[in-house]
Amino acid sequence: MLGAALFTALLARVAIAVPGSPVPITGQTLAVVLTAAALGPVRGTAGQLTYVLLGAVGLPFYSKGASGWAQVLGPTGGYLVGFIPAAFLMGLAAARHGFDRVAWKAVPLFLAGQLVILAIGVPWLCVVAPLDLATALHKGFLPFLPGGLLKATIAGLGMPLAWRLIRPREP
């Protein structure tokens, strides 16, 4: 669980500012889907909860080394909170149905994980920023779709390969 939190913190260092948006594109969501698929629903969720809490109490875990409760309660907070249910759902689909074992199932699974995070982050952005829904979608959803698809593809192709390397088939 701590490994999932640390891996997410590491990928939070990959951050690209989105002009006009208070939310950057980061590697965090890639870490969320990978660790959830690897750890399952309970440990994957616990890993992301640990990540959010460690950043909230002051460790520089969030994008660009940010930390504190103000980050969790601010415009990016919905995305951070979204990591937790996304991890549960990704872990559940991977553990129960093996969707992370083959690329054609894994890519849509990991894209769905990205969308869960966005589905929580955008309404949060509407309330906290405050923005109307159209503006929130323009600043907090649309710019993240290409990166989400790229991260889902990386995870969806990488995870089945990782499972094959860990558990090679018998000859």
The pLDDT tens digits for 55-89 are 999 999 999 899 999 999 999 999 999 999 999 99
Please report whether residue 150 resides in a domain. yes
Residue 26 within any structural domain of the chain: yes
Tens digit of pLDDT for each residue in 139-150?
999 999 999 999
Domain membership of residue 93 as a residue range: 2-166
What is the band of 170 on the pLDDT scale with cuts at 50, 70, 90?
Answer: low
Residue 100 belongs to some domain of the structure: yes
- Residue 97 reports pLDDT greater than 80: yes
Q: What is the mean pLDDT of residues 8-22?
A: 93
Count up the domains in the chain and report the number. 1
pTM of the model: 0.93
Instruction: Give a yes or no: residue 16 inside a domain.
Output: yes
Average pLDDT over residues 4-21: 94
Instruction: Supply the CATH number for residue 159's domain.
Output: 1.10.1760.20
pLDDT at 163 (0 to 100): 83
Q: Is residue 151 part of a domain?
A: yes
Whether 90 is in a domain gets the answer yes
Task: Please check whether residue 171 lies inside any domain of the structure.
Answer: no
Q: What is the 3-state secondary structure (H, E, C) of the chain?
A: CHHHHHHHHHHHCCEECCCCCCCCEECHHHHHHHHHHHHHHHHHHHHHHHHHHHHHCCCCCCHHHCCCHHHHHCCCHHHHHHHHHHHHHHHHHHHHHCCCCCHHHHHHHHHHHHHHHHHHHHHHHHHHCCCCHHHHHHHHCHHHHHHHHHHHHHHHHHHHHHHHHHCCCCC
| Mean pLDDT of all residues in 86-113 | 94
User: pLDDT digit string (tens) for 21-54?
Assistant: 889 999 999 999 999 999 999 999 999 999 999 9
Per-residue confidence (pLDDT) for residue 69, from 0 to 100:
97
Residue 73 lies in a domain: yes
